Structure 1
């Protein structure tokens, strides 16, 4: 009898141990287009998660960026996609959610750490449901050559008048191109130009939402004025800027030939490795001293849950960790210039990145005006804004002509309140 009880106890122990191992031994796979940050996931992010959750193993399995959308859609349709889906912002991910391929994460623990603006790229149009955890945004502003500013005795400009006075001084000196930007690639003029300075005119989210709701038009003063200001950049862009491509602009700045670079924060890592001079950054100057400032703090990347994943609980555990301050701190410092969207401030180790992110304490954030709802039809407002921004800078169209074209194109397909 005693031997039987011991045998039963041993068997019970073995079975319970096996059951426990089975319950804890979960493997998760992350789909992503960001193959450039593979080592960050493998060496920093995944080890930090697995240390706190030893029963869950995570594999980061990226695709080539240009192939990601098609490859992911094929996998999702075939039922072979990974458990966790890295989410592009806005319509591409919204479409996956509407097809039932991304799970609803509205009530996921940790989602309360993000503002409605932070979640806007991965929420339904009415904001009632969220389907990806926000991971990072990029911020627009201006990166400048500190050595050049010091040599010329230029203070960091806070108003438009101070900005153009600085450009005049740089141009008069003749040793630097005042602004490193070209119009050949079109998107540069809109992204680094119009969407950079524009929020100060249309008042960020107020103007963006009013445009979607049909309460404002692109021909209104708040939308035309930034185009007028953009036109004033032409004399400061250097000879041949019309044929200057994006990599040319980057090189002009990092080689020390230009004093100011209209920027996205994604440039920080590359500029740190290439520039041989001290750099600083400033937000888009306001029109008048004392005006509220706005910054384009644009949602760039999130992560969601494959609705057909067999590991729902483990995947949600991982996603809640992604929503945590611990993840935010590791990710933002490993990729300076890609900033956490969490409500909890993250102290950046990189001084240039910290300068960018500090603007959140001074200015109101918004996203690019063309990205939500307004570029779903033909002509695509985002792409049209590229063209018109370049035309205005080149001087081939006036700001009013460009705005009129943009509004007529939008009117051709978009009816406010009827977005799908």
Structure 2
């Protein structure tokens, strides 16, 4: 009897185990139910490779085409992290987050998006450290191919949205490395330029300058009228980088298409006469009082306030400036004015603009939420989410099915400059390590502080190139 009871008990345990196995696979993908589907972990299930998280990990499903057979996976609770450095409290950024969160709830009702936001350039140091410690967000915006080169990003070449990318997106150097696509394009952006108060320019009889001398003459007229010619917010060093590199781009590439490569291979030095000219112009402008006195102690939002209030006539910023300015005017109760745009130039009137996304949207190669991450990226790239965000950013579409209607006529001016001048998918920084660019910015801020420009100061940028050249990931063309 005792042996028989033990035998019956063993048989019952086998049946229970079989039933549990069947239950665990019901509603899931065949052969994909190997991990725990409870979803109690904040970053995904331990031991879950992502294959059982809402569909096949091949990425064949877009956000709107998730596998209906994965009902249990769709209902599971999890937290997915999304990282960025630019999603702040501006209206269109708040609306973007809300649209993404609401859209994702339709796909995964019990999911939570945790936004990992650190405003400004410090985000990139943080992201690098997170990748090194395996704590990076599941989905993240990024700016350089360093992450792809280091193996931090997932190959997204086979994703459905790739076929929607336009020609500019396909040439974007931020996205592709060694023949593979590691990121989706964000807003199609000019790399920066000079935005001006058109009403003030009209009052003073100033036309958008085409040469450096016309630019300096405009500054003198503005100063004589009691206004600050250009508002700088160099406490945010990325604005100093934008100012410097945009001006250098118009001095170099229109005359020598290979200037960047020459800087990289050492044919051209960082104290080259062409580079010195830009610093000399800044020196002149500082001496004549064309910048706000607190240029080094205020950030870009504060400089934007100077512009919106009418205290400053010009500001060097990216394509988000029109919408940011309109919002600042409304919140500050300032007098409205029409904003205008022109690019930096050289003495002869040559100019160049960068046009690319400059921002990739990638997926952590080690995420445990593979399909969930792909669905989140696809949602962010959908026309209904991207179009209003692009309008707020002042960005041009990088997808053929995304249409943006800009209310501000200045965007037509931007398009005219893009169509009529030299437009490149990369800037000068694509050919130097970050340390060299930082060293050049240090020299710029030194001049803006009132120290006379000394070409010998550029040696630090040359030394940084010699030390960190191996870190440069050249444009893949």
TM-score by length of 2: 0.66
Which residue in the other structure is 1:153 paired with? 205
Given that 1:146 and 1:280 are in contact with CA atoms closer than 8 Å, whether structure 2 keeps it comes out as: yes
Change (3 A) 1:388 1:352: farther
Cα 1:395–1:39 shift into 2, 3 Å:
closer
For each residue in 1:149-170, what CA deviation from the matched residue of structure 2 results, as whole angstroms up to 9, or x when unmatched?
1211112222223222212222
Shift of 1:99: 5.1
d(CA) in 2 for partners of 1:202, 1:344? 35
Query: Unaligned stretches of 5+ in structure 1?
Result: 1-14
Displacement after TM superposition at 1:416 (Å): 9.6
Contact preservation (8 Å) 1:268, 1:337: yes
Residues 1:330 and 2:377 are matched in the alignment: no
Counterpart for residue 217 of structure 2: 165
Q: Output aligned runs, 1:144-293, within 5 Å.
A: 144-172=196-224, 174-181=225-232, 185=235, 187=237, 190-203=240-253, 206-234=258-286, 235-238=288-291, 240-241=293-294, 244-246=297-299, 248-275=302-329, 276-287=335-346, 291=350, 293=351
1:120 corresponds to which residue?
Answer: 173
SS at match of 2:186: strand
Q: Who is 2:404 aligned against? A: 347
**Could you say which residue in structure 2 is the equivalent of 1:88?**
142
Counterpart for residue 191 of structure 2: 139
Contact 1:31 1:62 in 2 (8 A): yes
Which of 201-210 and 339-348 deviates more? Answer: 339-348
Task: Out of 194-203 and 316-325, give the one that drifted further.
Answer: 316-325
Counterpart in the other structure of 1:374: 433
Paired with 1:81 and 1:407, the residues of 2 have a C-alpha distance of 32
User: How far apart are residue 336 of structure 1 and its match?
Assistant: 2.5
Contact 1:189 1:386 survives alignment (8 Å): no
Task: Quote the Cα distance in structure 1 between the aligned partners of 2:131 and 2:469.
Answer: 30
Mark the CA change 1:296 to 1:119 in structure 2 (over 3 Å): closer, same or farther. closer
Match of 2:69 in 1: 22
Contact 1:135 1:322 in 2 (8 A): no
Deviations 1:311-365 (A, max 9, x none): 64565466456556665423302x3335544477853424166257524323303
1:212/1:236 Cα in 2 relative to 1: closer, same or farther (>3 Å)?
same
Instruction: Give me the whole-angstrom Cα distance separating, in 2, the residues matched to 1:88 and 1:392.
Output: 30
- Equivalent in the alignment of 1:62: 115
Larger Rg: 2
Q: Does 2:353 align with 1:295?
A: yes
Using the alignment, how far apart are the partners of 2:345 and 2:458 within structure 1? 21
The 1:318–1:357 alpha-carbon spacing in structure 2 relative to 1, beyond 3 Å, is: farther
* Contact 1:265–1:356 under 8 Å retained in 2: no
Task: Report deviation, 1:103.
Answer: 1.1
Partner of 2:418: 360
* Residue of structure 2 aligned with 1:407, choices 447, 458, 462: 462
Alignment-derived partner of residue 6 in structure 1: none
Quick one: distance in 1 between partners of 2:449 and 2:93?
40
The aligned residue for residue 391 of structure 1 is 446
> Taking structure 1 as reference, are residues 411 and 32 closer, same or farther at Cα in structure 2, changes over 3 Å only?
closer
Q: Structure 2 unaligned runs (5+)?
A: 1-24, 30-66, 330-334
The 1-side partners of 2:404 and 2:199 are apart by 26
- 1:105 touches 1:132 (CA, 8 Å); kept in 2? yes
Partners of 1:196 and 1:357 in 2: how far apart? 15
RMSD: 4.1
SS in 1 for 2:428: coil
Are the equivalent residues in 2 in contact too, given 1:202–1:222 (CA < 8 A)?
A: yes
1:261 Cα deviation (Å)? 1.6
Cα deviation digits, residues 193-213 of structure 1 (max 9, x gap) = 212211111217743343234
Deviation of 1:388 after TM superposition, in Å, equals 0.5
Q: Deviations over 1:220-267 (max 9, x none)?
A: 233222222222322142573566523553332222112122223344
CA distance in 2, matches of 1:252, 1:42: 28
CA distance in 2, matches of 1:72, 1:164: 40
Measured at CA, do residues 356 and 411 of structure 1 come closer, stay the same or move farther in structure 2, by a change above 3 Å? farther
Alpha-carbon separation, structure 1, partners of 2:191 and 2:340: 11
Confirm or deny: 8 A CA contact 1:388 1:402 kept in the other structure.
yes
Q: Distance in 1 between matches of 2:339 and 2:93?
A: 29
Closer, same or farther: CA 38–160 of 1 in aligned 2, 3 Å: closer
**Contact 2:198–2:339 (CA<8 Å) still a contact in 1?**
yes
Aligned length: 388
* Distance of aligned partners of 1:355 and 1:289 in 2 relative to their CA distance in 1, 3 Å threshold: farther
User: Is the 2:196–2:314 Cα contact (8 Å) retained in structure 1?
Assistant: yes
